[in-house]
Every structure is written in C-alpha cells, then in structure tokens.
Amino acid sequence: MENIRQKIEVLRKEIEKWNYQYYVLSQPTISDFEYDRKLKELDELEAQYPEFYDPYSPTQRVGSDINKNFVQVEHEYPMLSLSNTYSEGEITDFYTRTKKSLNEDFEIVCELKYDGVSISLTYENGLLIRAITRGDGIRGDDVTANVRTINSIPLKLQGSGYPNLFEIRGEILMPWAVFNRLNEDRSEEGETLFANPRNAAAGTLKLQNPALVASRKLDSYLYYLLGENLPYEGHYENLEIARTWGFKISNAVKKCRTLDEVFAFINYWNTERKNLPVATDGIVLKINSSKQQLNLGWTSKSPRWAIAYKFQAESAETRLNSVDFQVGRTGTITPVANLEPVFLSGTIVKRASLHNEDIINTFDLHIGDICYVEKGGEIIPKITGINKESRLLIGEKIKFIKNCPACGTPLVREPNEAAYYCPNHAHCEPQIKGMIEHFVGRKAMNINAGTETIEQFYQAGLIRNIADLYEIKTEDILKLERWREKSAANFIESLKESLQVPFDRVLYALGIRFVGETVAKRLVNAFHTIEGLMSASYDQLIAVEEIGDRIANSILAYFTDESNRQLIEKLKSYGLRFTLGNEALAGRTNVLQGQTFVISGTFSIHSRDKYKELIEKNGGKNTGSISAKTNFVLAGENMGSAKLEKAQKLKIKIINEEEFLAML
C-alpha cells in the first residue's frame, strides 16, 4: 500500500508541475496525449484507493455537478474600486498630488488592467481555502468550488516563504479563443450570445454546476497581496515572489520612477494589448511602498495610492431616431438618445446618454442626425459629437422638456446646476420607486427586494413611500403572483434585519440629494442623532468636513419639508436606528473639543485616515489647509515645506505622532 501511496503522490506532483508550466508559464513540456494519460492513471488509482483521497489533487479540478447556492462572505479587507482617468493630464495630477502629499521619493508600479471578474483568494498553510467575488466590496459570493476548476489558480502553493495566512486578488478571465468558441456553440444551439468575455466569465463563475464551469476553461491573472506578514514592503517585490509560489502574475508589470517611464508603458501597451489572448481595458498605477500606501490612505470608495487609466474608447457612427426623458430617484431628468443599433466595444449599442440640456444645445441635435458614439470607460455609451456634413434629411430639432414626463410638474433648474429636476418627489411615480430601490439597496438597508419586486408592490398598492415597506405582511405578499411561503418569509426576515442597520446607512438610505455614503458618515459623527441633524443650522452644517454650500442647503431643504419629517417619525416608530450606536459612542470624548487640526507628512504609527478618525472621535475638527483658525499641525516625516512655512509664520503649534497620541 505504501508503494501505491507514493505512486499517487509522484503523479500528483508531476501533474501539478505540468499544469503550472502549461497554464501559468505557457511553456508546456509534455504532449496533451501524455498529460491526459497520466491524469487518467491518477484518476483510476484514486478511485481504486479512496483512502488516499485528497481534495487538493489535480483530479479534483473537474468539479462536481452537485447544485449549490452561493453563500455570501464578508471580505477581511474591503474590495474597493479604483478611480478612473482618461488622459495623461489626469495621471500627471495623480503624480503631483502624491508627490505633494508624501514629500519624498516614491515608485509607481504599472500593470495591465484586465477586463474580467474580480476575485479574492485566501490561502492558509499553502492551501486554497476560499474564493470570494467582489460583490459590493464589503461582502461577496463564495465561489470556491468553481474557482478550484481553474487550472491557472494553484490549489497548493509551491516553493517556500509564503505567510501562513494571506489573501491574493486578481481577475478571472475568459480568453478570446474560448469566448469565440463558446459563442459559436451557443449560436449553433440557438442560444443568446454573450456580449463580451467579461460577461461570459461573470456568468460562468456564477453557474451552480462546477463541472460546467470547468468545461469553460477560465483563466486568471493575480495582482495584489494582502496580509499581516508579507515577505516585502514593496508591492512589486511581493508580486515577484508570488510567481515562485505558483501564481500567474502578468509579465506586463513595470516599476517606474518618473512620469516619462509611466507614459512609455502606457503608450506601448495601448497598441500591444490587442495581441494579448485576453481582454484588457487600461493600465493600473499603484504606489509601490506599503508604508506610503498606508499614509496616502483611502476614500470611502477607492485608495488614494492607486488609479486606473482607461484606454481611449472605441467610437462609431449611427443615426439618432428619437430622445426619451427619464426621471431619476432624486427627480433629475436625463435625456436618453434612441439610436440605430451599432456594434461598439463588444456590444450592440441602442441607447446613449445625452446628460443634460446644455449638451443637447451644444450639439444642435435633430432627429435623423448621424452621431459619434463612444463608450465612456468602455461601459456607458455616450454621444460625443455630430457629423454635420452628413445632414441631408433631418427631422425636428430636439428641445428639452419643460414639465416632468411622469407627473406633469414644471421642472426646476437651480442656479449653477446643469440638470433639471422634478420637485414633486412625494407623488412622482419614478421618483417614488427609485427612492424605494435606493432605500432597499445593499449599501443602504439591504432589504431583499429588487426592481421587479418594488414594481409589483407598487402596482398592487402596497407601497407609496419607503415607510410602507414595514407595513407589508406575509398575507399581503402571498396574494401576489409568483410568491411562495419561503420567498415571502425571506422578505419579511430582511425587513426585521434592516432594523439593525447603523444610523449612517439609514441616513444614506433616505436618499437626500448629495448625501452619499461618506457624507452620511460625516454627518452622523458630527451630530450623533437625527434630531441633532434636523435642528442643525447652515453654519453648523458647513463646519463639518466635506460639507459645502450645496450639500448644506440640500439637507436644510429636506428637513424643512414637513412630509419628510413625518416620514422619519414613522420610520422611527418601526424601530429604525436614528442615533449613533452605543458602541460607536463608547470610545468618543471631548478631549479635542474646539481644536482644529491640519495633517501633513507621512506617519509610522497610524495612517492619515486613522488620525483623522481619532481627531473627529475626540471632538476635534480636520481641515486641509492652514489658516489663522488652525490650532495644531500634526506633522509626520517629510512635511510639506509650504505648510511648514505657513505654520511657522502664523505661530501654529506643530506636533508629532507621539505628542498627538499623548493628548488623547
């Protein structure tokens, strides 16, 4: 038996080596026939001797055909999206901002931006234990069973030096050759074709049958390590050692020290990417040093130490047939062009945004015009111009509407605003349904109701505002089509769970114009209760970091409306949280009450964002620039010379990390 065990182990190691050479290095050293023969031999031995079963054996990549629902798992580290840029000028701005903020030398790692499905892989003791999709960035679907079928993702790591527990992120991709073959098969079978490889990869990864996933031949590129004990301080260096552990890391990675080097990388790959076997849509720039990344920090949506440059969008010409006017959840009216269908960047485009009245007037749009259409970021189609030389038989001029297309209310356009909006938020159907959709969203109240469900509830007369959701009973739902006991119970349970959603998300869920996730958190940290926010004056509002004139006036207008105040009272009666929780309040003090801080330089104990949080949590205020009202400058290494000079001129006290922490 020991001989059999050793033979199985040798076969496994050989096949793992051949997999790595073929799928990661693209350097096969054995024929397909010989590989298949060895894999079959191993499969037969494992079947004959089940006592030697190993879930990490190469034979297990074929996947089971057992149908399983995906479980949602919270990410250890949030998977934030990157800020996008479309010009060299914006890259220069990013470089200049970084240089000013760090005030020291730094390196930028340039990588290809692969157009696939983001994935997070967790390894423990060298074994793949979990694969999670991006989801909403906070939690995603556990697709481990499907990912195990992808040959370029190691089930067991090779080499040495990897941490006991770490995470690596990347993209799951469908190569062009596989995509084209898949669409040919679907065409022959009369099935709908996939629009592009990204959609095909996303659809494949969400299949409930891992055996079918295995047949789709997905690939991967991995590009970011996270963990407590990574081998190197540099992102580039960690990627290089990850290669030796068996990960497929792109060869198109370059460490740059100047803008010229960055632009040379971009210019080369802007053309050369078209020869790659997988889809790409840009370049990602990352600051190499993890310490510098920490000091630059994050916004609520993206890291400040990385940015994505999108390649110039493909464009096409097509005829404008008509224009619709859509009403958004906050009442904003968006004109949408209906176009003669045209193939663009992998999809058929029939509609494109016209944004606002100024755009329509600038283009002097007429029905029948031949329009230049692009995909902004190669995702959202937009009209970028008109071919006026082709104007022969055109129809009437496009004019922006004066009344809401849904409820007939006269539209309003605020001074210095480009968009018109319908002020009838309480009785305009698209606004009501849009507001409810926003309210139930995953980042808001996370209630189990999608667009179709809300439409059905609305048409049945069950909802006319967000508070009505909490009046819905199981018996009400079961009277509707397609509802069963289990789905009704899931909806009711999600309503109950939403009562535990923290105050900042509840405030965001209300859908106040210009109050996004970050602003909602700022307001909650400043006022602690809904009563405090409702009674806040204009001066009190603009004193909060990131709250300017536009946001302050929007908040005041919202709470001046008696129907909104009544709505909040109703939501409070159902048990929604409108106060900062005891846990959040527990660590708060007034130690820094009335003190204004400016943060400058790089830090070693905590990140900038952490220091901002500590200042606010202890009653202080953060500002970005030094003035006579500044009380302290919290200075790290390489403080900006201009700020230092201004602080000394105004005789403002400069403190270091240790002195600041001692104040707390």
Residues acting as catalytic residues: 113
Helix axes of 562-574 and 549-560: crossing angle, nearest 10 degrees: 80
CA distance 218 to 133: 15
Amino acid at 431: Q
Listing DSSP states for 163-201 in one string gives -SEEEEEEEEE--HHHHHHHHHHHHHTTPPPPSSHHHHH
Residue pair 465/571 in contact by the 8 Å Cβ criterion: no
Amino acid at 254: K
Nearest CA among 86, 276, 74 for reference residue 176: 276
Ramachandran angles phi, psi of 368, nearest 5°:
95, -10
Please give the C-alpha separations between residue 567 and each of 442, 461, 572, in angstroms, as whole numbers: 21, 18, 9
Own/partner long-range contacts of 476-479 (Cβ < 8 Å, ≥24 apart):
none
Instruction: Tell me the three-class secondary structure of 285-317, residue by residue.
Output: EEECEHHHHHHHCECCCCECCEEEEECCCCEEE
Residue pair 656/600 in contact by the 8 Å Cβ criterion: no
Residue pair 534/565 in contact by the 8 Å Cβ criterion: yes
Q: Which tokens in the block code for residue 604? A: 């070693």
Listing DSSP states for 48-66 in one string gives H-GGG--TTSGGGGG----
CA distance 282 to 479: 50
Residue pair 634/610 in contact by the 8 Å Cβ criterion: no
Residue 37 CB partners (closer than 8 Å, separation 6+): none
CA distance 585 to 583: 5
Element (H, E) at 128: strand 127-133
Listing DSSP states for 372-423 in one string gives EEEEETTTEEEEEEE-GGG-SS--PBP---SB-TTT-PBPB--TT-S--B-S
Residue pair 287/98 in contact by the 8 Å Cβ criterion: yes
Residue pair 87/158 in contact by the 8 Å Cβ criterion: no
CA distance 45 to 244: 30
Buried b (16+ CB within 10 A) or exposed e, 387-426: eeeeeeebeeebebeeebebbebebeeeeeeebbbbebbe
Q: Which tokens in the block code for residue 577? A: 């949280």
